[in-house]
Amino acid sequence: MSKKIIIILILVTVIFVFSGFGCKEEEEVIPPQEAKPQVTETEAGKQTSIVLSLAEKFAETYGTFTNRDKFTNITDLYSYMTDEMKSAKERFVEQSLKHQDPKAPFYGITTKVLASKILWQDDSECGVLVVTRREETTSQENKKRYQNILIEVEKINNEWKVNRATWQ
């Protein structure tokens, strides 16, 4: 055999060996009992998301009002409140409507949530600090300010409800 043929055979053999040609790698098979389910969000993470979303929505709606809207910023939130808070707010709205002057100059506040943070949480209670920017509008001027609100929620019948909202 000539040297050229021997060199070609050696090169072809080397290429086959190093390229894995003709060899099939074994795939790792994970038996079903060992397969790990993919979990995108833990139950605790889901509850945290629900609470933060509730607190932010509540803070923005609760903090946005005008003296012309008959307290819809509160009445629209009744379904998110505990019975205790709802009763207190119903009394507040009833009394306030009796004393509201329909001829008073315009006054309104628009509230936007900037950030929120859970301060404490267990299985049935949670406290969320919500940072807001509020724009106060009167018939004569506009003022912007930053204000925090502490939203306290309780889990009632497996549903989170706001029990207290306190401007800081």
pTM: 0.73
Q: What is the pLDDT of residue 44?
A: 73
How much is the pLDDT for 45? 81
Q: Is residue 20 part of a domain?
A: no
pLDDT at 38: 47
Tokens of 14: 């080397």
Residue 132, domain extent: 44-99+106-167
- Asked if residues 3 and 10 have their Cβ atoms less than 8 Å apart, the reply is no
Residue 46 is predicted with a pLDDT of 86
Q: Rounded to 10 degrees, what is the CA torsion of 94, 132, 81, 104? A: 10
Within-domain flag for 6: no
- pLDDT in 10s for each residue of the chain, 168 residues: 566 666 665 655 555 555 554 444 555 555 555 544 444 557 778 889 999 999 999 999 999 999 999 999 999 999 999 999 999 999 999 999 998 888 899 999 999 999 999 999 988 999 999 999 999 998 888 999 999 999 999 999 999 999 999 999
d(CA 83, CA 64): 22
Structural domain total, the chain: 1
pLDDT of residue 36: 46
CA distance 74 to 59: 11
The CATH number of whichever domain residue 115 belongs to comes to 3.10.450.230
Handedness of CA 45, 115, 56, 119 (dihedral sign): positive
Task: Tell whether 21 is covered by a domain.
Answer: no
pLDDT at 39: 41
Structure tokens at 8: 């070609």
Please indicate, yes or no, if residue 134 is contained in any of the structural domains: yes
Q: Which residues pair with 81 in a beta bridge?
A: 162
Q: Which value, in Å, is the radius of gyration of the alpha carbons in the chain? A: 32
Per-residue pLDDT at 6: 65
Q: What's the pLDDT score for residue 14?
A: 52
In the prediction, which pLDDT does 41 show? 58
53 within a domain of the structure (yes/no): yes
| CA 21 and chain centroid, separation | 53
Sheet with 107-121: list strands edge to edge.
65-66, 107-121, 125-138, 142-156, 159-167
Which amino acid is it at 43? E
* Any domain includes 138: yes
Is the dihedral angle over the CA atoms 72, 111, 59, 48 positive or is it negative? positive
pLDDT for residue 20: 53
Whether residue 49 is contained in a domain is answered as yes
Q: Tell me, what's the pLDDT at 9? A: 58
Q: What is the pLDDT of residue 100?
A: 87
CA atoms within a 13 Å half-sphere pointing along the CA-CB vector of 160 = 22
Q: Is residue 145 part of a domain?
A: yes
**Residue 61: φ, ψ to 5°:** -70, -45
